[in-house]
Structure 1
Amino acid sequence: MQEKKFDLIMQLTRVEWLLHKYHQQNHMNFGPMADPRKGQGRILSILKMKPEISQKELSYLLEMRPQSMGELLTKLEKKGYISRTPSETDRRVLNIKLTKEGEEATAESSEPEFSFDQVFECLNEEEQQNLSCYLDRIIMTLETQVEDENSEPDFDLRARGRNPFEGLGDPRF
């Protein structure tokens, strides 16, 4: 019995590794906009909707620490996708602008060019539904057994029923 459970763990570990590898491959092929829901793609997605925004506002919208935001912005700036300039009214404030190269990068991918959907094409609808139910049960079991040392809320706002782009025109900024 233990051997079967070990085999399941090994299969799940292999799937996790392959999904990560698949995502990396696609990121290399399609650039930062390969996944507009993560990292640099999230920033470019917001800048596509609002071409100029303060670093503070961007950090607030994405619920990211200023240090993490700074790292991503540095990478995007080195690639030529954004520029950071001090605000004319308050020199402490940095305004982030989408450059011509950034506009081209976001225009090329009005919709994500890669998707994990293909991974599930080997399963029919019933099998996909069953897999979803099995994974939900495994996730629920793990969530009850794993202590959450991080007191911060989950990264994915959608999991908490919130829109991550809510407040783009927020007058507080």
Structure 2
Amino acid sequence: MFQSFTDRFVPNTKESAQIYRTRIGVLQGWVSITVNVVLFVLKLVIGIMAGAVSVIADAVHTLSDVISSAIVIWGFKQAQKPADKEHPYGHGRAEYIATLIIAILLCVAGIEFIEAAFKRIRNPQLIEVKWWMVIVLAATIALKEVTARYAKFLSSKVASGTLHADAWHHRTDAISSLLVVVAMIAGIYGYP
């Protein structure tokens, strides 16, 4: 499934390995941006309807992931640039810089989730949750996991640390959304 989708947008022609690698990285970046924008809208609507700050925060975090995806695109486009006077060995390290930035964003996101969890524990609130909201959010988790697996697939295809980091970023987003769904289900049963 992943291979046929990839081949549709990035056919493996006789272009150089570097150009193919760049096109794969850019494809993953745009797939991530598209998925994150769709998920942002879904989560924001559900969060507002339920009055759930945690879901709204998750929506905003998902929107911020667009920045991470843009960094993936930037890293791959910079890395393909040929050597010049200021960079006699080329720009290949730009991809490593993109990987580092994504790793830092993952750490920041982890710290934010821990902080939000402690705030919520100290100030519990009942939220109005409907089962359809839980089902839609569960679907967003599945979509995020598919996106993670696709990034991992592309990562192994072109041996990219940046895409591997992006895959983990999508997976941690799925896990954090899973925690939100668990909290929503608990809210349905009267737990704060």
Q: TM-score range by the shorter chain?
A: 0.3 to 0.5
Relative contact order higher in (CA < 8 Å, ≥ 6 apart): 2
Greater strand content = 1
Greater helix content = 2
TM-score by length of 1: 0.34
TM-score by length of 2: 0.32
Higher CA-based Rg = 1
